[in-house]
Amino acid sequence: MRRGSGCHTGCVSTPADPSEPRHEGSPSPSAPSRAAAPSVEPGREADLRAALAEHRRYVRVRAVASRVVLVVALLTLLALVGRHPWRGVTVLDPVAWDVDRNVARPTLVMAGISLIIGARGLRRGHRLAWAATVAVLGVSSVLHLAHRLSVLPTVLVLAAVVWLAAQRRAFPVLPSRRDVRRAGLVTLAGLVTVGGIVAGFAIATDDNPVRRLHLHRLSSGLTVGLGAVFVAVLLWSLTSPRRPVRLPHAAHLAERERARALVRAYGSGTLDYFALRDDKDWFFVGHSVVAHAVRGGVCLVSPDPIGPVEERAEVWAEFSDYAATYGWSVAVIGASADWLPVYEASGLRSVYLGSEAIVDGPSLDLADHQHKGLRNAANRVERAGYVTQVLAPREVDDETRAQILDIATQSRRGEAERGFSMTLSRLLDPADDDVMLSVTRSPEGRVDAFCQWVPCEDGWSLDVMRRRLDAGKLPNGLTETTVVRTVEEVVRRGGRRVGLNFAVMREVLQGEGGSPWEPVVRPVLQRLSEQTQMSSLAAFNEKFSPAWVPRYVVLDAAEFVATQAVVMAGAEGISELPVIGRFLAARSRT
């Protein structure tokens, strides 16, 4: 696999031995010039595309190896049932029964469990699982030949061993020192437990032959069961995805500021500023940065990598290589269409997630007939004496700050702002000096609604929208008015784009997707929409006549999809649907 310029959390370059990351000094966070990154020469671009293709080939190697080993494991366990037509092609079955029937069942149980967990390790690229698989299959083939059993299947297994041995570079993940220490403790605990059981039974049997026979049978079954448990725990710990390197808080903030410089220099998308969330880490390649977080062995990336267009292939090749050395599966939330060819070139799969509403400020004319609802809402709110101000965090006084934080606490569920791909995770932070707030006050000066906006190219993008819940009846259209006044302010400052909410599966709900599965999926989504307000959120966005920009979720291989869905659901802080539930909470954003 490629090793190169990628660095992560304190500029951690991927070393030859991934179990020992190397820390280097972090460059100054001063913003680079957009002209600083040279264009990629045609030959270099071909090399980068070849690197993505190489990574994709390694992914396929791991998938094939793990699936074959899993089949072998299942056949090995099925051998315990009795005679079967595939006896000649199983790995240890004929040898185990031929050598000693008393050890055959325990041997097959241990072998089956080991191979199942080994298949898991192979799928994630673990070098230890690869070496063990090559050794087990090689030894078993030799034993088969020595016993003159099933020559043709044995030759096929040997061919598979030779092929797998040649794919060493597809399995780069080495166990960390912590994993090795934990495995040693598990082994020690297993030996002590089994030894204690055997010694206890030996003492308990004394000279009673009947009791000795019964306890011997019991101890044999218990020993095999405990042995299987310890083997499973041991192998599971050694073949699990590695944990990311964690920096001290101050170093993490320094990395965030380095990422902020790149976002300011190259960030153009409406989601790019959300790369600066507190719970994300950053991987740097050249003038680019990949914001990500690792949870449960899944590396969540959002937004798309930020940097010069000419670095896209390089940054994703380096990052894919980096994730592979830790055994992580990769998923991208809220991906743009421009990045899909790069993701798919590395072996990932894209699925339409929904559409983001982007308002063109100069086109939002309240005098138009199509904007009659917005005009009436704004007039109604203004007649009630409400005023909207647009402020920077440093311009917010203590009383206003306290009211904003109080409203945010009222309307969110949980202790923190939820979401991963479209929420900054903090309010009124002095470090975010380019973030803006639109604050709508009652005639008495009380804050009844506010929005926090993050910068994007040629405008702002919605971060948080809240309204007061502990007051009496508030005028209808309070949030619409807040957004309208914000759009007007963006235009007054020379911008034109305003990113609003995300409409989940909008194309499918509107019948615009064109998929043959759409007639089947749409009724399900429509029923779900009645409970989660998917359609009402899209209807709120439609009031502003936005352009709809499709967004995608990019997933790894099929084996990882279920785990990735659960992890994405947790990252977005939802319970209704994986990934998208945070966008379904229309009450908190309309």
Phi, psi of 139 (to 5 degrees): -65, -40
Residue 8 contacts residue 179 (beta carbons within 8 Å): no
Tell me the Cα Rg of the chain. Answer: 30
Q: Classify domain 354-550+580-588 by CATH architecture.
A: 3-Layer(aba) Sandwich (3.40)
Task: Tell me what pLDDT residue 265 has.
Answer: 93
Closest by alpha carbon to 174, among 236, 241, 123? Answer: 241
Tell me the pLDDT tens digit for each residue of 346-387.
889 998 888 899 999 999 989 888 888 899 999 999 999 999
Residue ranges of the chain whose pLDDT lies below 50: 1-6, 9-38, 86, 88-89, 97, 99, 414, 575-590
Task: Tell me what pLDDT residue 83 has.
Answer: 55
Same fold for the pair 1-12+247-347 and 354-550+580-588: yes
Phi, psi of 52 (to 5 degrees): -65, -40
Tell me the pLDDT tens digit for each residue of 241-293.
888 888 899 999 999 999 999 999 999 899 999 999 999 999 999 999 999 99
Signed CA dihedral, 284, 289, 293, 296: sign only: negative
- Cα–Cα distance measured from residue 421 to residue 172, given in angstroms and rounded to the nearest whole number: 30
- Cα–Cα distance measured from residue 280 to residue 304, given in angstroms and rounded to the nearest whole number: 13
- Cα–Cα distance measured from residue 301 to residue 568, given in angstroms and rounded to the nearest whole number: 10
**Spans of all domains in the chain:** 1-12+247-347, 59-238, 354-550+580-588
Residue 282 contacts residue 259 (beta carbons within 8 Å): yes
- Cα–Cα distance measured from residue 353 to residue 503, given in angstroms and rounded to the nearest whole number: 9
Task: Tell me what pLDDT residue 240 has.
Answer: 77
Residue 502 contacts residue 355 (beta carbons within 8 Å): yes
- Cα–Cα distance measured from residue 427 to residue 405, given in angstroms and rounded to the nearest whole number: 8
Helix (H, G, I), strand (E, B) or coil at 145: helix
How many H helices and E strands in the chain?
18, 14
Q: Classify domain 1-12+247-347 by CATH architecture.
A: 3-Layer(aba) Sandwich (3.40)
Contacts for 201 with CB less than 8 Å, ≥ 6 apart: 215, 216, 218, 219
Task: Tell me what pLDDT residue 273 has.
Answer: 95
